[in-house]
Amino acid sequence: MGRSHRQSYGGGEMSVAASLVFYFLVFLAEILMFGLLSLVLFWVVYYRGGFKWREDPAREFNFHPVLMVAGFIFFMGHAMLVYRLFRCCNKLTAKLLHTFLYLLAVPCIVVGVITVFDSHNLRVPPIPNLYSLHSWLGLVTVGLFALQVTHTLVVGFFSFWLLLCCEQGTASFRSGLVPVHATFGIITFMLAIATCVTGYTEKAFFVMRDPETKNFTYSLMGNEAIIINTQAAALAALGILVPVMVALRPFRRRWSERLTEHL
């Protein structure tokens, strides 16, 4: 039996116990996502000197961690949770909100990539690009994200406007794309977390040095080291919470059958 885009999701299919667990996890995830974004802003402003553009490449770099956390973790994390959180919305509304959040992530990631290349190339002397584990993971993550966005826009356009001309005949094709898109979304999110954690570690070793002796001070666990490690711990927690909420069967929705169904 095919399903229409005009059908709504069933909102009350979870048991009471599952609902309590789910919304507790949502509460934790929201605290972590908003807290992480606030903490990375505080870190770069208070400890790393704030923001400048190309006239100061070192401080231009500060856009990079903020924008990457905003794009890959905050906006993408919320985009992944749309289908679980907004249980009263119909499928079309949920898809549009999902796409909108993905599109908000795009300029964050594009500008974040530009600033890191600028901060390397405009230094005197320049810093090499794409040599570290962090940068390699970042390339893979950005590539997968680009595929996700392309899939969302291109396939979304065809399914919403062209494929709906033959909705019953294309229902199985459209439903078959869902698990592929969801799986790659989780993979991209997990890779983004791994990339962020390696980036924090790399940055800590570069900047946390005694100005006189040039010895590393990261191991002394000063306030900045604690803030960096707290951000990494929040990322690790989100790497557990978000995939659990997206993938576990008790938290999934069932369709609410309507007169638009195809027999």
pLDDT in tens, 126-145: 999 999 999 999 999 999 99
The pLDDT value recorded for residue 174 is: 59
Which of 162 and 252 is assigned the larger pLDDT? 252
Q: How many CA atoms lie within 13 A of 228 on its CB side?
A: 26
Instruction: Name the residue type at position 237.
Output: A
Encode pLDDT of 234-252 as tens digits.
999 999 999 999 888 777 7
The pLDDT value recorded for residue 135 is: 94
Confidence of residue 258 (pLDDT cuts 50, 70, 90): very low
The pLDDT value recorded for residue 139 is: 95
In whole angstroms, give the CA distance from residue 231 to residue 227: 6
Place of tokens 């009350």: 12
Q: Is the pLDDT of residue 167 over 70?
A: no
CATH annotation of 15-256: 1.20.120.1770
The pLDDT value recorded for residue 2 is: 45
Exposure class string for 200-226: b at 16+ Cβ within 10 A, else e:
bbebbeeebeeeeeeeebbeeeeebee
Span 134-163, average pLDDT: 78
Q: How confident is the prediction for the chain on average, in pLDDT? A: 83
